[in-house]
Amino acid sequence: MQRHILKILPEYFDAVCSGKKSFEIRKNDRNYQVGDELILCEYVPDREGFTGREVEKEVVYITDYAQKENYIVMAID
């Protein structure tokens, strides 16, 4: 298991926190695996900074079906 610290935009952060969004689509440049932990840190590009809000999620499923090359969809819980 690995821990990955990732930026996430506010509109997606809120959706993850509320449970409406249960997946992440990311470039697979970190060799993501089922069981990995994602630390999603809310990031505001206009201010070029983090808000301090974070949420931890576990990767429970991964697929690359119908994705651009080197991209994956991770189901998170």
Q: What is the CATH number of the domain that holds 59?
A: 2.30.130.30
Dist CA 48 CA 34 (whole Å):
31
pLDDT tens digits, one per residue of 15-61: 999 999 999 999 999 999 999 999 999 999 998 899 999 999 999 99
What total of structural domains would you count in the chain?
A: 1
The answer to whether the beta carbons of residues 25 and 45 sit under 8 Å apart is no
Residue 12 banded pLDDT, cuts 50, 70, 90: very high
pLDDT tens digits, one per residue of 1-11: 999 999 999 99
The answer to whether the beta carbons of residues 40 and 13 sit under 8 Å apart is yes
Dist CA 66 CA 54 (whole Å):
29
pTM of this prediction? 0.93
Q: Give the range of the structural domain holding residue 7, as residue numbers without chain letter.
A: 3-76
Dist CA 4 CA 17 (whole Å):
17
Q: What is the pLDDT of residue 48?
A: 82
Phi, psi dihedrals of residue 2, rounded to the nearest 5°: -120, 155
